[in-house]
């Protein structure tokens, strides 16, 4: 039973560029959430996708956007990258339409130079 | 807004000993879930234990157990017979189920406690 997978593992970008991160949920899960974890901090909720729509969003600017595909996988897009966007980006999946425990992927480490 | 506070930035414990990590939270809701997640250097956030607020019995998972004090809004994690593999960041997290009044789908995390198990 495959767990949550994320790609790529590491990514280096420069300020102003755009980036796309990818996530495949755990088998049987239909909901994907994205979190940003800055160094030395706990994860902060970005948004959650269910039935291919964003249904809840945290306190993040519109530069952060996402998408969910019919197979429940998801993408996180960040435009106009800032140095402060450097962080570990975690994807979490859950079943039962988002009401169950969230299981996390290994994360993507984004460095913005 | 709900908040989660972990007051111990770092802790250490001798192998085979017992250690307790503290967590307090603030909410006016009556129905919620509490979690402990472990994040080793590999970065993977791993679920350790989950507690439903309506359950009076404290959750246990093998060597891991919680002391849930609802009135005090306290949720501590006890690790018994500590092992080298327990070395990690431990995060306390909180969620109000969506079917409750102020419910949402997001987890709110504390800042974490770095636990080192010493041989």
Mutation site, A42, A49, A107, interface B, largest B CB count within 10 A: A42
Q: Which two tokens stand for residue B73?
A: 């809004």
What are the tens digits of pLDDT across the range A60-73? Answer: 999 999 999 999 99
Give B59's DSSP letter: P
DSSP assignment of chain A equals ----EEE-SEEEE-TT--EEEEEEPPTT--EEEEEEE-TTS--EEEEEEETTEEEEE-S--TTEEEEE-TTS-EEEEE-S--GGG-EEEEEEEESGGGTS--EE---EEEEE-
Mean pLDDT estimate for chain B: 92
If you count them, how many residues does chain B have?
A: 119
**What are the chain B neighbours of A32 within 8 Å (beta carbons)?**
none
Residue B96: closest C-alpha in chain A? A99
- Tell me if B105 and A48 make a contact (CB, 8 A cut-off): yes
Q: Given CB atoms, is B7 within the 8 Å cutoff of chain A?
A: no
Rounded to an integer, the average pLDDT of B104-115 is 91
Q: Which residue has the tokens 């994320």?
A: A6
Q: In the predicted model, what is the mean pLDDT of residues A77-87?
A: 97
Q: Identify the CA nearest to A23 among candidates A77, A62, A63.
A: A77
**Mean of pLDDT values over B81-95:** 96
Residue B99's pLDDT band (cuts 50, 70, 90):
low
pLDDT at B75 over 90: yes
Which one of B23, B107, B110 makes the best mutation probe of the A interface by having the most chain A beta carbons within 10 Å? B107
| pLDDT for the residue B102 | 61
- B85 band by pLDDT with thresholds 50, 70 and 90: very high
Q: Looking at CA atoms only, how far is residue B45 from chain A in angstroms? A: 6
For residue A38, what pLDDT band results from cuts at 50, 70 and 90?
very high
| Structure tokens belonging to residue A106 | 């290994």
- Give percent of chain A above pLDDT 90: 85
Per residue in B38-56, pLDDT tens? 999 888 899 999 999 988 8
| B34 vs A1 pLDDT, higher one | B34
By the CB < 8 Å criterion, does B102 face chain A? Answer: no
User: Is the CB of residue A95 less than 8 Å away from at least one CB of chain B?
Assistant: no
- Asked, as a colleague might, if the bond just before B61 is cis with ω within 30 of 0, I would say no
Task: Name the closest residue on chain A to residue B6, using Cα atoms.
Answer: A42
Q: Which residue of A has its CA nearest to B100?
A: A99
Confidence of residue A1 (pLDDT cuts 50, 70, 90): low
Structure tokens at A48: 């959650």
- Would you call A21 exposed, middle or buried from its count of C-beta atoms within 10 A (0-12, 13-18, 19+)? buried
Percent of chain B scoring above 70 in pLDDT? 94
């Amino acid at each position: 039973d495959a767990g949550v997978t994320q790609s790529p593992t590491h990514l280096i970008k420069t300020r102003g560029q755009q980036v796309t991160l990818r996530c495949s949920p755990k088998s049987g899960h239909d909901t994907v959430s994205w979190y940003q974890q800055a160094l030395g901090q706990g994860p902060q909720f970005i948004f959650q996708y269910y039935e291919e729509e964003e249904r809840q969003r945290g306190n993040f600017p519109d530069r952060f956007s996402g998408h969910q595909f019919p197979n429940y996988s998801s993408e996180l897009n960040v435009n106009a990258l800032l140095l402060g966007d450097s962080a570990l980006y975690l994807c979490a999946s859950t079943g039962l339409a988002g009401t169950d425990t969230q299981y996390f992927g290994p994360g993507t480490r984004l460095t913005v130079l | 807004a709900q908040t989660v506070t972990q007051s111990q930035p770092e802790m250490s414990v001798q192998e085979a000993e017992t250690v307790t990590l503290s967590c307090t939270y603030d909410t006016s809701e009556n129905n919620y879930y509490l979690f402990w997640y472990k994040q080793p250097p590999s970065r993977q956030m791993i679920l350790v234990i989950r507690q439903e607020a309506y359950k009076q019995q404290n959750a246990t998972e093998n060597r891991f157990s919680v002391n849930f004090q609802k009135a005090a809004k306290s949720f501590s994690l006890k690790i018994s017979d500590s092992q080298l593999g327990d070395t990690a960041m431990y995060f306390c997290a909180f969620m109000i189920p969506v079917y409750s009044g102020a419910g949402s789908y997001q987890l709110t995390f504390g800042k974490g406690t770095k636990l080192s198990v010493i041989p």
